[in-house]
Structure 1
Amino acid sequence: MFWLVAAFLLTALLYASVGFGGGSTYSALLALGGVDYRILPLLSLSCNIVVVAGATVRFARAKITPWRDAALLIAVAAPAAFLGGLTPIDREPFLLLLGASLVLTGGTLLLPRKQKAEDGERGRFARYVPFVAVPLGYLAGLVGIGGGIFLAPVLHLVRWHGARAIAATASLFILVNSLAGLGGQLLKGGEGRFAAAFEMGLPLLVAVAIGGQIGSLLAVRFLPLNWIRWLTAALTLWVGGRLLIGV
């Protein structure tokens, strides 16, 4: 259990520094630890909420979050995340879908861009992002993560906002979607799975709370913009590859 707690703390630190909750990696670590895949979403989503709640507050206090645009994305994605959480899925499709999605989204971050992240000019396709947020929200609820790791590469590709604003939006997106997805997962799994998740979840929640606070502080004050993008890509590809290898 100690290695799992330490791994969760480090994961929360790294993911919070790029505006994510780390749900995908939590699921991978738990799967490697032999935990029943049916309670993975409950644990991962709960850890997401703990991590990104603090990160969202830090981004808001730093006046980085683009509230009007972010609210639209969340309004259309959260109901889809709830429906995704209600949808039954077997273990192999669960891991395969999650791993493939993460490899694809990580790869998009490695594509060259023609403009700097913070030059203030939005891409021509940025207005269509809400249409993409709906299926991404459903996919996030289905596999039991917040969905920011799916959304952020899309926002970078269309130059929706600057890198830090995207990190802040991804954090808020994860928070709301995790709450919605957790609601769906609880309705699907019932009290038995919740009790099993709660029994082993407390040390993990404490670990991610500490790591998340450190990581979000790094994101707001210290990390260069290019680091945010490349670290996001590296984390996403690594996690996706590990999941696919294990399927």
Structure 2
Amino acid sequence: MQHWELLIFFLGIAFIYSSVGFGGGSSYLAVLAMYQLPIYEMKTVALVCNIIVVTGGSILFMSSKQVDIKKILPIVILSIPMAFLGALVKISADTFFILLGCSLILASILLMLKKPSAYTAAEKQGVVKSGIMGASIGLLSGMVGIGGGIFLSPMLHLTKWDVPKKIAAAASVFILVNSVSSLLAHLSKPIPSDINYSRILLLCVAVFVGGQIGSRVGIKKLNELAIRRVTAVLVFAAGVEVLSKHVHLIW
């Protein structure tokens, strides 16, 4: 495998993102873009690595009883088919990534500026509203090739959907089901002959190790305010990362 440093990058990304319930798909894509890998392989790697990281995280969140299936179901029920459809849509990658970067930065600013407030059981999200939110993020996620947790998490924080650790758990489950749906749609397309399967396998091992460590740190050691701040920083960094590669196209 060329570029062995990718293993270190991917392990680090998986560790950081998994600590707040994310898979790291946006950063995997950003790193791979620097190496000019085939687009099909880039999306395949990002989605498979997402699945590996959040599968381990989801299991840990479930074992620690942080996952509320009844509350999560209305959000994911429509996101799954919409993520599949989104992965089949053909759009201009550059134009979309500009919109993606702007929306990520806006989400991070809103998350950082909003003063933390205690969650109360009375503040419940309606089923219809949850379904529309999940479907919209699912479609967006499928089009880009990420799991969508980086969009969902700020929205759940801003609406005080639940305590931060349960939001991290919900984001992890959301990323898992949407990444699987998007990957199935992605694999339904013709597979190029230049795919480097050895590289994909090694990167999968790296994110498995990083994700397992990060998930345990996030569940056991990070307090609620720390999770909120880390989430905001990661969302902002991902937005800047995307815009830095595509914003020159609008000038």
Q: TM-score range by the shorter chain?
A: over 0.9
State the identity as a percent: 38
* Alpha carbons 1:23, 1:145 under 8 Å: kept: yes
How far apart in 2 are the matches of 1:226 and 1:58? 20
Over 3 Å counting, the alpha-carbon distance change for 1:227 and 1:161 in structure 2 is: same
Instruction: Tell me what 2:120 maps to.
Output: 120
3-state SS of paired residue (2:186): helix
* Structure 2 residues without counterparts, runs of 5 or longer: 247-251
How far apart in 2 are the matches of 1:202 and 1:86? 25
Report the TM-score, using the length of structure 2 for normalisation: 0.91
Instruction: Tell me what 2:89 maps to.
Output: 87
Q: What is the Cα-based RMSD across aligned positions, in Å?
A: 1.7
Instruction: Tell me what 2:203 maps to.
Output: 204
* Alpha carbons 2:76, 2:135 under 8 Å: kept: no
Could you list the per-position Cα deviations for residues 32-90 of structure 1 after superposition, in whole angstroms to 9, with x for gaps in the alignment? 12222343221100000000000000000000111111122111111000000111133
Instruction: Tell me what 2:249 maps to.
Output: none
* Alpha carbons 1:122, 1:159 under 8 Å: kept: no
Could you list the per-position Cα deviations for residues 11-39 of structure 1 after superposition, in whole angstroms to 9, with x for gaps in the alignment? 00000000000000000001112222343
How far apart in 2 are the matches of 1:57 and 1:78? 19
Greater helix share, structure number: 1
Q: Shift of the alpha carbon at 1:120?
A: 3.2
Q: Would you say 1:219 and 2:237 are equivalent positions?
A: no
3-state SS of paired residue (2:78): helix
3-state SS of paired residue (1:191): coil
Instruction: Tell me what 1:244 maps to.
Output: 243
Report the TM-score, using the length of structure 1 for normalisation: 0.92
How far apart in 1 are the matches of 2:202 and 2:103? 29
Aligned length: 243
Instruction: Tell me what 1:65 maps to.
Output: 67
How far apart in 2 are the matches of 1:49 and 1:114? 30
Instruction: Pick the aligned partner of 1:16 from 11, 15, 18.
Output: 18
* Alpha carbons 2:98, 2:243 under 8 Å: kept: yes
How far apart in 2 are the matches of 1:192 and 1:100? 32
Instruction: Tell me what 1:181 maps to.
Output: 182
* Structure 1 residues without counterparts, runs of 5 or longer: none
Q: Shift of the alpha carbon at 1:199?
A: 4.3
* Alpha carbons 2:74, 2:130 under 8 Å: kept: no
Q: Would you say 1:144 and 2:141 are equivalent positions?
A: no
* Alpha carbons 1:152, 1:170 under 8 Å: kept: yes
